[in-house]
């Protein structure tokens, strides 16, 4: 696997790794995507639904560079999460990529003002490419 520079400079000039939150209710898919990203050098926050994702963002004071968001989840779905995320100033500017197996993905992407979308099941190379391009 080629090396991907996953670092950035924080406000003090120190190097920090880029962080990605994966929000997915399927535990196997969540673990697989998180492992791919961790192996590539990213810090990964994991959440099984929108409510957990909001809590993780609160816990890390919104220090997240990208959110990969499933749409169909129990407790709080992707639509409700995205609404709450956009209403919260500390989280509102974090870009979101939607993940779904549904054919409606392009329409939902526009509706939710997402940075992009990726079709599930997610291919290893595709997810790395999406993250790398978004976090340039």
pTM above 0.85, yes or no: yes
SS3 10: coil
As a whole number of Å, the end-to-end CA separation of the chain is 18
* Residues ≥6 apart with Cβ < 8 Å to 47: 21, 22, 23, 24, 53, 55, 56
Establish if 121 belongs to a structural domain.
Answer: yes
Q: What is the pLDDT of residues 47-88, one digit of tens each?
A: 999 999 999 999 999 899 999 999 999 999 999 999 999 999
Position 119 scores a pLDDT of 87
Q: How many domains does the chain divide into?
A: 1
In this predicted model, which residue has the larger pLDDT, 15 or 122? 122
Establish if 21 belongs to a structural domain.
Answer: yes
pLDDT(13) > 60: no
Establish if 1 belongs to a structural domain.
Answer: no
Measure the CA–CA gap between 37 and 17, rounded to whole angstroms. 12
**Residues 97/49, Cβ–Cβ less than 8 Å:** no
Establish if 2 belongs to a structural domain.
Answer: no
- Give the CATH number, domain containing residue 126: 3.40.50.2300
- Structural domain containing residue 21: 7-134
């Amino acid at each position: 696997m080629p090396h991907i520079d996953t670092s950035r400079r924080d406000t003090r000039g120190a190097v920090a790794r880029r962080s990605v939150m994966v929000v997915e209710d399927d535990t196997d898919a969540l673990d697989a995507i998180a492992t791919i990203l961790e192996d590539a050098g990213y810090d990964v926050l994991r959440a099984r639904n929108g409510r957990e994702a909001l809590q993780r963002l609160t816990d890390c004071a919104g220090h997240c560079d990208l959110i990969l968001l499933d749409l169909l989840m129990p407790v709080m779905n992707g639509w409700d999460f995205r609404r709450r995320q956009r209403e919260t100033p500390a989280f509102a500017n974090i870009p979101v990529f939607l993940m779904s197996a549904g054919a409606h993905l392009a329409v939902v992407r526009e509706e939710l003002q997402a940075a992009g979308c990726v079709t599930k099941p997610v291919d290893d190379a595709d997810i790395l490419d999406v993250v790398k391009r978004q976090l340039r």
